[in-house]
Amino acid sequence: MPKQVDESEFLHYSELELDREWQEQPHTFHKYAVILANARLDHDHAKQALDLVSAELSRAIRANTERFGVGKVTEDSVQIAVVVQAEYQRAVRFLNEAKYDVDIAKAAVDALQQKKSALENAVVLWSRDYSAVPRLRPEDNQRAREKQEEFVSTGRYEGPKRKLNEGR
């Protein structure tokens, strides 16, 4: 699992190729859903490894308290001795890295959900001629014609205004 996900690979889309984007979306989503599932599996394995390291160290510390510097054997003293061991620290670091990979993969899957919504909205806008020239609704168009006729018939319409310095 890569530590980072290249967002330019799947987040950007072309409004001119919405059909192609929709065809690729499920494949891309599946790809990153599988990456997320694998990251979760790795995280589970790292958790199991940490538990195993903790149990083995706990047993070793109880068997040889002097070697690990534990005076009186109590749950707290054994747990403290376990946590400071290098092997345990490595297992914790491995678990944290696996958790980070899960978070990155989850963010990619969430971003693909957002992309799906964006594509849906882009299709809606496209189907409504979002980038077309603005048009009046039929009822507004009719009222505009009536107003224009009123201005022309009453003589209040003087045509387009000329610029002050025009024609000099």
Residues in the chain: 168
What is the per-residue pLDDT for 52? 97
pTM beyond 0.85: no
**10-residue averages of pLDDT along the chain (168 residues):** 59 77 87 95 98 95 88 88 94 97 94 88 78 67 77 68 53
What is the per-residue pLDDT for 1? 46
Amino acid at position 161, single letter: K
Contacts of 157 (CB under 8 A, 6+ apart): 148, 151
Task: Write out pLDDT tens, residues 90-101.
Answer: 999 999 999 999
Task: Write out pLDDT tens, residues 65-74.
Answer: 888 888 888 8
What is the per-residue pLDDT for 162? 53
Start-to-end C-alpha separation, the chain = 75
Tell me the C-alpha distance between 33 and 109, whole Å. 6
What is the per-residue pLDDT for 53? 97
User: Which among 115, 142, 54, 129 is positioned nearest to 90, based on CA atoms?
Assistant: 54
